[in-house]
Amino acid sequence: MRLVYQIMNRWMGTPFVWGESDCCLGLADWHRLVKGGDDPAAALRGAYFDAVSCQQLCGWFTRPVEVIEECLASVGGLPRVEALAVGDVAVIVLPRKDRPLPAGAIWLGDCWGCKGPEGATTLSPNLVRPLACWGMGYAE
């Protein structure tokens, strides 16, 4: 099984827990799986427990791109990309009736993979808007 689908399967079997296994920390797990080395989200892991404390700690809902940039910078960074390759990561915006919702996601080649409250989901690129994308250099 391709590594990118292994992470999606892991997300399916892991409950969504703020500060432990959420969409941002899922991207950090993916980074560690592909790149190895230190945890890009070490400063966030276990430091918040719900949406409110997440916003208070890092500003996820108002500045999600900066949150990911800061995490990536802690381990040497990743290049921003326009043309996506399988395994690249992004902050996407999910449409919601009350307000748009940012989420961390992995590009699977024809859709976005995202850790969510129901485990893992795939989202059509027509349904979401990427705010920023980073190249992982993933290749199998």
- The residue ranges of every structural domain in the chain are 3-134
pLDDT at 86 (0 to 100): 96
| Mean pLDDT of the residues in the chain | 95
The letter for the amino acid at 4 is V
Q: What pLDDT is attached to residue 98?
A: 87
Average pLDDT for 36-58: 97
Structure confidence at residue 139 as a pLDDT band (50, 70, 90): confident
101-107/129-134 β-pairing: unpaired
Given a cut of 60, whether residue 125 has pLDDT beyond it is yes
d(CA 40, CA 7): 17
The terminus-to-terminus CA distance of the chain in angstroms comes to 10
Task: Report whether pLDDT(1) > 80.
Answer: no
Environment class of 3 (CB within 10 Å of its CB; exposed 0-12, middle 13-18, buried 19+):
middle
pLDDT digits (tens, 9 = 90+) for 84-101: 999 999 999 998 888 889
Position of tokens 């995490």?
Answer: 71
Residues 6 or more apart in contact with residue 76 via CB below 8 angstroms: none
With vertex at residue 74, the alpha carbon angle to CA 65 and CA 66, rounded to the nearest 5 degrees, is 15
User: What's the pLDDT score for residue 99?
Assistant: 85
Q: What is the mean pLDDT of residues 112-128?
A: 93
Which tens digits make up the pLDDT trace of 26-44?
999 999 999 999 999 999 9
